[in-house]
Homo-oligomer: A and B are copies of this chain.
C-alpha cells in the first residue's frame, strides 16, 4: 500500500476532520433538540417556485443550454438580475463585476487561492466563520486578529513579517455574522476601509446573511461605502461575496462575487481551470425563481426566523443563570453565548447531549487561536418556538448545575 501521507502536499496536513462536526453528525436524531445546525429550514424553501422553474426550462426550449457546458463567469441573465438587486443595496456595478460561484463557500476558497501564499497573513475576527478558516487553511496562511481602531497598520505589518509573509486581506462577515450574530457598524466599516487603504490590501466582505435583517436600520455594504469613497467599483478594494443559500435554497450551490474587474477576470480563469462553471441548469432555475419570487420569499423567511429569534432571546432571558451573556442579533440565524469563565463549551456539549438532549456548537472552533473555550453558538433557524423554549430551559438548567459543580 502506498504511503499516502508521503505523497500528499504540505497543505493537506491542515485538512483534518473536525471532531465537533463528527460528533454533531451523531446527534442528528429526532430525540435531540438541536441548535447546532445553522442551515435554513427546508419547510420555508420556495419549493413550488423551484418545481415550476425546472419544468419551465424543459417546456420553454431552454433544455439544451441547461444541460450543456456554459461560460465560467456565469449565466448572463442571473448576473443581470444581480446587477439590479445589488443596485438596490447601494452597489453600483456592471455585469462584468459579477461572477457566479458554486455557493459562497467556493468564493472563499477561490479568494484564498487567489491571494494567499504560504505564511501570508489573513486578518480575521476572533471568532469568525469556521468555513472561512477551513477554506483559507488549504493555502497555509497565518491569522492575525482583525480589530477595529486599536491596532496600527505597522503592528499588522510587523506581525505578518514575523510570520514570514505579508498581510494579504481582511475577511469579515458584515451582517448578523456566523457565529456571533453581530453586525459591523458603519463606523467600523469605514475604519476598516481606512485600515485596508493603509495596508493596501483587499477586504473580503462575506454578505451571506445580509438579506435576513429582522429589525433596525440596514447598514450599507462595505463595498457600497468603498464605491462612495473611491468613486467607482473599479477603484475599490472590497470583494463582496453573496449567496442564494440562505434566501432561496442551498442545494443548488449558487453564490456570487462582486468586485473590480481585475479580480473577476482572475476568478473566471481560476474557475475555468478548477470546475469549468457552476451548474448551468441550476443557474437558470435560480434566475427564474429570483426574478419572480425573491422579495416575497425573503419576507416569508424573515417573518419565520425573527419569531424564532424572539423566542430564543426570551427563553435565554428567562432561563440563563447570572454570569451568562449573549448577543441580541438584528438578523441572521445565530445567537452567541458567553458562559462564566471556567466553563468549557465542549464539555458542556457532551453533558448536554447525555442528560438534556440538547445540541449546540462549542465556540472554540470559530477562533483561529483556539481561545473562546467558554462560548457557544446557538442557531434558531431550524427549531420551532416550543422546541426553542424547552431546549433553552434545559440548557439553562445544565449551565446553572455546572456552575454549582464548579463553585
Contact = CB atoms under 8 A, between A and B. Distances in A.
Interface of A: 1-4, 6-12, 15-17, 39-40, 42-43, 45, 47-48, 50-51, 54-55, 58, 63-70, 101-103, 105-106, 109, 113-117, 120, 131, 134-135, 137-139, 168-169, 200-202, 230, 234-235, 237, 245, 249-253, 260, 262-263, 265-266, 269-270, 272-282
Contacts of A202: 2, 7
Contacts of A168: 7, 9
Given A67-B250, A273-B137, A120 B58 contact: no
A102 B253 CA distance: 10
B39 A67 contact: no
A11 B113 contact: yes
A76 to B, nearest CB: 14
A40 B50 CA distance: 27
Contacts of A4: 260, 262-263, 266
Given A114-B8, A234-B1, A253 B272 contact: no
A48 to B, nearest CB: 8
16 contacts: A3-B200, A4-B262, A7-B200, A8-B115, A12-B114, A15-B270, A40-B68, A42-B65, A42-B67, A47-B58, A68-B251, A103-B276, A109-B273, A138-B270, A252-B279, A252-B280
A183 to B, nearest CB: 24
B105 A266 contact: no
Contact of A138 (B66, B234, B273): B273
Contacts of A235: 1
Contacts of A273: 15, 105, 109, 131, 134-135, 137-138
A134 to B, nearest CB: 4
A336 to B, nearest CB: 22
A274 B109 contact: yes
Contacts of A230: 1
Nearest to A134: B273
A45 B17 contact: no
A97 B394 CA distance: 41
Contacts of A270: 12, 15, 138
Contacts of A1: 230, 234-235, 260
Given A105-B274, A270-B138, A273-B15, A58 B50 contact: yes
A41 B120 CA distance: 45
A138 B7 contact: no
B279 A68 contact: no
Contacts of A39: 68-69
Contact of A200 (B2, B66, B67, B113): B2
Contacts of A265: 17
B120 A249 contact: no
A103 B277 CA distance: 9
A237 B2 contact: yes
A7 B272 contact: no
A272 B237 CA distance: 28
Contact of A279 (B9, B114, B251, B272): B251
The 6 closest A-B pairs by CB, nearest first: A251-B280, A134-B273, A67-B249, A51-B58, A42-B64, A54-B54
Given A1-B235, A50-B63, A138-B274, A8 B279 contact: no
B253 A278 contact: yes
A251 B235 CA distance: 35
A116 B115 CA distance: 18
A282 B278 CA distance: 12
